[in-house]
Amino acid sequence: MKKRLIFLLLLAILLLSACSNSDELSGKTFDVSVMWSSPNSPSDNYKPLMRLEFSDGNIVKNTMGYEEGTYELKDDKLVIQFENENESLEIEFTLEESDNEFSEYSAEISDSDFQIEDSGQVSKYQGFYQKLWDRHFVFIER
């Protein structure tokens, strides 16, 4: 009887820990930056393209002019999606631990998708989307 009780207790603990929010990004803010020339310290050699604030519920906000979106972190893939009434932008980063002591992650875009319904309207994401390709990024925690 004691063995069953211990087994049920361990099973309950495992289930509760599996259901808890284990998202390592929630509550953090990162500058997603690209290499830029600067005569100062190594961290000054990077210019942020985005400042991402991650929060519970898989919500992400780019505080550098873009609206709120959603994200999913799975293994080494971070997928971010922004959407408004006329367009959507999805960016998939492949993350790895950074070799730089000033940054948390090193990243490249492994996939992206930009869709616009009415190209006659002003696009909020198109110019930003075009800046993303052929770049190496670092995620610098703020």
Percent of the chain with pLDDT over 70: 78
Give mean pLDDT, residues 95-119.
92
pLDDT at site 10: 44
Query: CA 95 to CA 76: how far, in whole Å?
Result: 5
pLDDT at site 68: 92
Q: What is the pTM of this model?
A: 0.76
Domain ranges of the chain: 23-141
In contact, 106 and 136? CB cutoff 8 Å? yes
pLDDT at site 44: 66
Query: CA 139 to CA 142: how far, in whole Å?
Result: 9
In contact, 27 and 52? CB cutoff 8 Å? no
Q: What is the pLDDT of residues 26-71, one digit of tens each?
A: 999 999 998 776 556 566 678 898 899 999 999 999 988 768 999 9
pLDDT band at 113 (very low <50, low <70, confident <90, very high): very high
